[in-house]
Amino acid sequence: MGNQIPPKFAPLFIPAMQGENLWLRRLSNWAEKTRRVPAWVALFGALVAVFNYGFSSADTDKTPLSIVYLLVLFVSISSIVIGYFSDKIRPKKLVWLFDAFYIVLLGYTVYDVLGGGFRLTFNTMFIAPIMFLILIRELSTLPVTFSRDVLNPAQLFLGSFAAIIMLGAFFLMLPNATVNGISFIDSLFTATSAVCVTGLIVVDTGSYFTTFGQVVIMVLIQLGGLGIMTFTGFFSHFFRGKSSYENQLVLSNITNTSAMDEVFKTVRRIVLITFIIELFGAVFIYFSIDPAVITSFGDRAFFAGFHAISAFCNAGFSTLENSLYELPFRYNYSLQLIIALLFIVGGIGFPIVFNSLQYVRYLIVNLLLPFSTTGHVKHRSHVINLNSRIVLITTGILLSAGTLLFLTFEYNNTLAEHSGFGKFVVAFFGAATPRTAGFNSVDTSLLNFHTIMIVFFLMWVGASPGSTGGGLKTSTLALGTLNFLSVASGKSKIELFKREIPQQSVRRASAIIALSLIAIGTSVFFISLFDPDKELLPIAFESFSAYSTVGLSLGITAELSEYSRVIIIITMFVGRVTLLTFLAAFLRKEKYSHYRYPKEDILIN
């Protein structure tokens, strides 16, 4: 009763309230109808920023650019504020705090563009990231639906990688991205190597590309390491709070998530864990560098950030001409251990990281509970699942055996210049980096032949499933090994840790092994055809490195002909998305399989 309007005052208040509600409804309807306009304006602002970074010089008149930036900023702020008046497009409560900070940031940018005294100017290094942040914010609020009748998940996965590669090649060809310009083939090669997190280069990253070009490469590595669809799904779900079933199906295929209700939780964990690990990695790298080697704070911070992202994403790109073999970095053992830890964690796979965190949490809870008032411990069987056990055991065997063999074969060769502890660190690094990381702390061309054979095998195996790395994958090698042991012993099934491996997994592993050899063999054949002057060993090394997205080379990458570079580009792309995914994208999906023909044995040997 206390909130009701007295009857004698109703004629004064009700028309005003009705008018206010009508105004809000009109504003809400207008916001829904024009929701795409801010995205187009933001896209225009991002293109202007590209022009500003890629084409304009110090003599270019900045006034027209400042006017465009002001327009984009005001439209973005207005669209966010107006969006809160619409029930249909109002962000969820989780976004409110972000938007509050976001509007303050945009307000400061307006002040920056106006120069504090209403002079049209701007900070070049500050305004462009803001334009792209606005573009991401606006595009993420738009509903996007993928139909399986038009694109299946495999085609969408391939298309996203191809699109970001072409866009990256365009950015790297901008005049301000390089010191003396770059050809289309070399630009496409570099963009493909970055997106496919390979690390093979035809031009030196540190001296050939400007800071802008190196930032483009760093962004391409980050997008390629996690996948553009992962970022798209993360931001779309964060700002919109919902998604269609088709979108969830696509992301479940990309993230290897079986439960549909866990898809966006998995995507969120992947993005957050990636940024957290890369941040800590950058901090440790920064403090591991002698200030006398890189004196400027900004240069040291950029070096740390670039190598943290490149390491965790298993890309192998470095701003140093000879990677970590560059003096004095070849003797910085703490830096090598930090980078090795980053690419090992990045290559072990997000499912294994999540499962390991669950196990750590389980241990902590069980250690603390006996001292609590409850007095009993809750036991869970198989906290570490079978997939994690296979990956961790296989990874441990490869790392330990690889380190021991590298140390033995190279003790008096490439390791001769190092001390006792240094020999072990460099040997460990040399055994870990072929598993798709691509950094080198020794001169690869000076390795003994038997060491190169070990590196061949490690490159072929690569990282683990669900990781930022490529290659055959550790679980595939494990299943292939268990399969031939099972066949040789006469077993009809594969059993491990009191669990039976499904035949579907074994068939998939066998297909991946066969297809990888076909792809690598095809690459070797065409490169030897186009470059007959090159020896077979470096050609094969290059093909294995490209397919497994490793980035190591025996020094012939820059000497390859354009045709061979195109073959390497295709090999890197196919290796990153896997040939099995490539075939699945274009072969018709079998819909009816609920029937069985009579069985008949085939002679094998």
If asked whether residues 176 and 32 sit together in one domain, one would say: no
Mean pLDDT, residues 538-554 taken together: 91
For residues 50 and 55, what is the distance between their CA atoms, to the nearest angstrom?
8
For residues 217 and 314, what is the distance between their CA atoms, to the nearest angstrom?
14
| pLDDT (0 to 100) of residue 463 | 86
Mean pLDDT, residues 552-573 taken together: 91
In a domain, 106, yes or no: yes
If asked whether residues 167 and 310 sit together in one domain, one would say: yes
For residues 131 and 191, what is the distance between their CA atoms, to the nearest angstrom?
22
In a domain, 399, yes or no: no
| pLDDT (0 to 100) of residue 87 | 62
In a domain, 451, yes or no: no
- Which of 245 and 322 is assigned the larger pLDDT? 322
Choose the final residue of a domain: 140, 171, 188: 140
For residues 572 and 593, what is the distance between their CA atoms, to the nearest angstrom?
34
Residue whose C-alpha is closest to residue 133's, from 51, 76, 84: 76
Out of 159-163, 307-311, 543-547, least confident range: 159-163
pLDDT at 373 over 70: no
If asked whether residues 119 and 229 sit together in one domain, one would say: no
pLDDT at 526 over 60: yes
- Which of 310 and 369 is assigned the larger pLDDT? 310
Tens digits of residue pLDDT in 73-120: 888 777 777 776 666 666 666 666 777 777 777 777 777 666 655 455
If asked whether residues 172 and 58 sit together in one domain, one would say: no
Tens digits of residue pLDDT in 282-318: 999 999 998 888 888 989 999 999 999 999 988 889 9
Band (142; pLDDT cuts 50, 70, 90): low
pLDDT at 17 over 50: no
What mean pLDDT, rounded, does the chain reach? 79
| pLDDT (0 to 100) of residue 355 | 82
Percent of the chain with pLDDT strictly greater than 70: 75
Cβ neighbors of 312 (< 8 A, separation 6 or more) are 225, 274, 277, 278, 281, 342, 343, 345, 346, 468
Tens digits of residue pLDDT in 169-226: 998 998 888 888 899 999 999 999 999 888 888 999 988 998 889 999 998 998 888 7
| pLDDT (0 to 100) of residue 597 | 76
pLDDT at 164 over 70: yes
Q: CA dist 238 to 141, 228, 392, 576, Å?
A: 9, 15, 32, 27
If asked whether residues 78 and 123 sit together in one domain, one would say: yes
pTM attached to this predicted model: 0.82
Cβ neighbors of 79 (< 8 A, separation 6 or more) are 31, 35, 37, 38, 138
In a domain, 212, yes or no: yes
Choose the final residue of a domain: 301, 324, 350: 350
Whole domain around residue 94: which residue ranges? 15-140
pLDDT at 528 over 90: yes
In degrees, to the nearest 5, what angle opens at C-alpha 361 toward C-alphas 356 and 362?
A: 95
For residues 267 and 429, what is the distance between their CA atoms, to the nearest angstrom?
30
- Which of 529 and 579 is assigned the larger pLDDT? 529
In degrees, to the nearest 5, what angle opens at C-alpha 338 toward C-alphas 335 and 341?
A: 145
> By three-state DSSP, how is residue 162 classified?
helix
Q: What is the number of H-type helices and E-type strands within the chain?
A: 23, 2
Tens digits of residue pLDDT in 433-486: 998 888 988 988 899 999 999 999 999 998 888 787 888 888 889 988 888 888
If asked whether residues 181 and 296 sit together in one domain, one would say: yes
| pLDDT (0 to 100) of residue 485 | 84
Residue whose C-alpha is closest to residue 134's, from 212, 64, 52, 71: 71
- Which of 122 and 82 is assigned the larger pLDDT? 82
The number of domains in the chain is 2
In a domain, 454, yes or no: no
For residues 124 and 331, what is the distance between their CA atoms, to the nearest angstrom?
37
Out of 125-139, 158-172, 294-308, least confident range: 125-139
If asked whether residues 285 and 209 sit together in one domain, one would say: yes
For residues 499 and 517, what is the distance between their CA atoms, to the nearest angstrom?
29
CB 434 within 8 A of CB 458: yes
If asked whether residues 193 and 220 sit together in one domain, one would say: yes
Helix (H) or strand (E) holding 494: strand 494-496
If asked whether residues 102 and 187 sit together in one domain, one would say: no
Band (520; pLDDT cuts 50, 70, 90): very high
